Structure 1
Amino acid sequence: MECERVQAIASLSLTTNSIPLEFIRPEKEQPAITTFCGPVPEIPTIDLSDPDEENRVRSIANASKEWGIFQVVNHGIPDELIGKLQKVGKDFFELPQEEKEVYAKPPDSKSMEGYGTKLQKDSEGKKAWVDHLFHRIWPPSSINYKFWPENPPSYREVNEEYAKHVRAVADKLFSDFSKGLGLEGHVMKEAMGGEEISYLMKINYYPPCPRPDLALGVVAHTDLSAITILVPNEVPGLQVLKDDHWINAKYIPNALIIHVGDQIEIASNGKYKAVMHRTTVDKDKARMSWPVFLEPPEEFVVGPLPQLVDQHNPPKYKAKKFKDYSYCKLNKLPQ
């Protein structure tokens, strides 16, 4: 085992009402101190079925420029399917520990895939209050079913069905992102790898935490993906940095939360902003989320779109292979 699972640590911590020192964040990160308590603007909510295309495109472009995040409703993924996705994920994390360990990320793996705990380097040796499961859900050629749980038995069927629906949502988003920059609808998807874009499912499991005032589920970061399409459960926890304040994302049942990732920020030459976000934890309930990260193929080069660069708008980012970008980001090296 790469390290003790947070789920196991949480069970022990609940009896002592304390958490191990390595989970206590520095004061400048502690949720109790840093969460904004004043009146906050709400993250934009956008109706993805709005027949007024101009209005929808403008709303998505504005949200992407000002927030880097928005919620979508009427997105076409059946509520029942979202419920099934949540149930099979929850059932997996409620399995006995040894059953979950069958899907553990191999210690020498360069891939993210598998069941695990630690993800990124932390210079201060601090840990996040979360366990996770990663596996690719598209394209079929990239799927490694050894990381897909066989229990619960409907896990594979539900995830394959969800993959179909989430791709339709993604295509609509890519088209609207493009049009919001004054480009043809196909441009942004092609700039991310077209039909070769990889869809990486992650299930985050944040166990109940006796000291939610001191710990974080995931520390502040932007996603290295192009887009992240996330399903939360009903336990709040997602926080967004807006105007230097950490504010809570409102829970909207069956809405999808859309994060602008680093690759779209790069391709848009900074017009769209990757959202800085983090996750808090709950004292009494397990929080869960199901982000799908849309990533370019490893060898694919992403850089500012030539249509958006001229003598008045020079490129703000280097063009580089996605695998090189990921390596630098995960190892906290300069880009």
Structure 2
Amino acid sequence: MGLRDENGGFVFDSAMLQKQANLPSEFLWPQEDLVEAQEELNEPLIDLGGFKRGDEVETARAAELLSKACSEHGFFQVTNHGIDATIIQAAHNEIDTFFNLPLDKKLSLRKKPGSLNANGYSGAHAHRFQSKLPWKETYTLLHHENDPSNPNIIVDYCKSVMGEDFEHTGWICQRYCNALKELGLLITELLAISLGVDRFHYRNFFEDCVSMMRCNYYPPCQNPGLTFGTGPHCDPNSLTILHQDQVGGLEVFSNNKWKAIRPEPGALVVNIGDTFMALCNGRYKSCLHRAMVNRNLERKTIAFFLSPREDRVVRPPQELFSREEPRKYPDFTWPEFWEFSQKHYRSDVTTIDNFIKWKLSSKPSGTFTSVA
């Protein structure tokens, strides 16, 4: 049995749960979902060094690798990305600081059930779901680097909500997000080149983006074959840039098989989300992926999510649709899709299609045409 709070909600006390021989029923997943990966994805390892130097041959090579990967499954890894290893290590140290806090402190920072505010702690996403819970804890921080009214939004949040003692945590996470945002913008340039559109089209679109940092902690699990660290899902945002430790556990569903992504020292994993799939008119894929748990080892990752500013209209550039290749998605905004994805039971391969059906059914007929 797991702990319950004063409202009867499930409390993820990993220290207590790891001592139990049997997994609480809230964490059990159907056996057909738990098929193990038998091979690796072999996603490309893209060296960004030549692209950053302006080397045309290396840029063309990187764009070719990216295009092939994103057309098939939407995952690749990048090296020579320019993120200082000391910043990454400092951010991981702050993960340790936070997830080692007493349980009552973490619970005081929980996300509220039904809230669309991304900030806060979650134990097994119990604020959203009651079954098929993920075996993990998360802490999410919203990042608006270009908000002139609050350039240090993470620092202010950590001080005001977590306490003055967490100002240092705030500065570390702010620096990490600022650096990852710049990398994200650089990757959007390479994506544009690979798609044959203006190099700065997506960079300009995301310059004043909404982004957030999610710290993930996956404790050891005595029954790893019965549950997931994160269940199968697609990311609703535009781009995800993930730093994972060397434990491994990330898997992608490609060609009707689950395939593992091997951690590469110094590399960052990048994947396409649903919103960018709409921004490129479906040419690049947002792919189902999941995180496994380990019987003996804890696993920690930091995910950085890039999304459009709230009032930006998600629409592919003109070059990517025509009468021969009509538009696949109507115009929408990120807040519309974010709200839908949070109220939908799971973010999976059907989420964006279900969102489009919902959006079209709630608008007057004729507001979306599938041709140029």
- What TM-score, normalized by structure 1, do the two folds share? 0.90
Q: Is 1:269 the equivalent of 2:291? A: no
The CA distance in 2 between the partners of 1:15 and 1:162, in whole Å, is 35
C-alpha separation between the residues in 1 aligned to 2:315 and 2:198? 18
What letter matches 1:36 in structure 2?
A
C-alpha contact 1:47 1:74 (8 A) present in aligned 2: yes
Shift of the alpha carbon at 1:169? Answer: 1.0
Residues 65-84 of structure 1 mapped to structure 2, 5 A cutoff: 65-84=71-90
Shift of 1:106: 3.7
Counterpart Cα distance in 2 of 1:225 and 1:47? 24
Distance (whole Å) between structure 1 residues aligned to residue 331 and residue 137 of structure 2: 33
* One-letter amino acid of the counterpart of residue 23, structure 2: I
Q: Show the counterpart of 2:360.
A: none
Show the counterpart of 1:54. 60
Residue 367 of structure 2 is matched in structure 1 by none
Distance 2:226 2:33 in 1: 8
Q: AA paired with 2:140?
A: F
1:70-116, Cα deviation, whole Å (9 max, x unpaired): 11111111112211111111221011122323432244632121111
Structure 1, unmatched stretches of 5+, are none
The answer to whether the Cα contact below 8 Å between 2:248 and 2:261 also exists between their aligned partners in 1 is yes
Whether the 8 Å CA contact 1:114–1:147 is kept in 2: the answer is no
Q: Which amino acid aligns with 2:282?
A: G
The Cα of 1:41 is off from its aligned counterpart by 4.2
* 2:131 alignment counterpart: 125
Partner of 1:292: 304
**Are 2:321 and 1:315 aligned?**
no
Letter in 1 for 2:341: K
Q: Where does residue 44 of structure 2 map in the other structure? A: 44
CA contact (8 A) 2:63 2:191 kept: yes
Q: Counterpart of 2:276 in 1: which secondary structure?
A: helix
Letter in 2 for 1:47: D
Change (3 A) 1:153 1:284: farther
**Matching residue within 301, 318, 325 for 2:313:** 301
Question: How far apart are 1:253 and its partner, in Å?
Answer: 1.8
Which residue matches 2:369?
none
Counterpart for residue 98 of structure 1: 104
Find the aligned partners of 1:253 and 1:23 in 2 and give their Cα distance. Answer: 31
C-alpha change, 1:284 and 1:178, in structure 2 (3 Å) is same
Offset at residue 195 of structure 1 (A): 2.4
1:146 aligns to 2:157 (yes or no): yes
Give me the whole-angstrom Cα distance separating, in 2, the residues matched to 1:119 and 1:228: 23
Q: Report Cα offsets for 1:253-283 as digits up to 9, x if no partner.
A: 2211101111111111111111210111111
Q: What's the Cα RMSD here?
A: 2.2
1:215 aligned partner: 227
CA distance in 1, matches of 2:277, 2:177: 24
SS of equivalent residue, structure 2 residue 139: strand
- Tell me by how many angstroms 1:57 deviates: 1.6
| Aligned counterpart, 1:253 | 265
Partner of 1:283: 295
Q: What does the per-residue CA deviation read over 1:279-308, in whole Å, with 9 as the maximum and x for residues that have no partner?
A: 111112221111011011233221333221
| Alpha-carbon offset, residue 153 of structure 1 | 5.5
Deviation track 1:109-129 (CA, whole Å, cap 9, x = no partner) reads: 32121111327855x832111
C-alpha spacing 1:40/1:230, structure 2 compared with 1 (3 Å): closer
> Which consecutive residues of structure 2, in runs of 5 or more, have no partner in the other structure?
345-350, 356-372
Identity %: 25
How far the C-alpha of 1:182 sits from its partner, in A, is 0.6
Q: Which has the larger radius of gyration?
A: 2
State the shift of 1:23 in Å.
Answer: 0.5
Correspondence for 2:214: 202
Which residue pairs with 2:362 in the alignment? none
Secondary structure in structure 2 of the residue aligned to 1:196: coil
1:265 partner letter: M
Say if 2:184 is the partner of 1:170.
yes
Q: Is the 8 A contact 1:35 1:245 kept in 2?
A: no
Closer/same/farther in 2, CA of residues 74 and 119 from structure 1, 3 Å limit: farther
The 1-side partners of 2:253 and 2:285 are apart by 12
Contact between 2:143 and 2:177, CA under 8 Å: does it hold in 1? yes
Contact 2:114 / 2:128 at 8 angstroms: preserved in 1? no
How many angstroms apart in 1 are the aligned matches of 2:174 and 2:334?
25
The aligned residue for residue 248 of structure 2 is 236
For 1:146 and 1:267, locate their aligned partners in 2 and report how far apart those are by CA, in whole Å.
31
Question: 1:35 — aligned with what?
Answer: 36
Count of residue correspondences: 326
Q: State the partner residue of 1:14.
A: 18
Q: Per-residue displacement from partner, 1:157-202 (whole Å, max 9, x unpaired)?
A: 2112212321221121010000111111111233xx4322112001
Contact 2:37 2:251 in 1 (8 A): no
* TM-score, normalization by structure 2: 0.81
Partner AA of 1:27 in structure 2: Q
Q: Offset at 1:139?
A: 2.2
1:331: Cα distance to partner?
Answer: 2.2
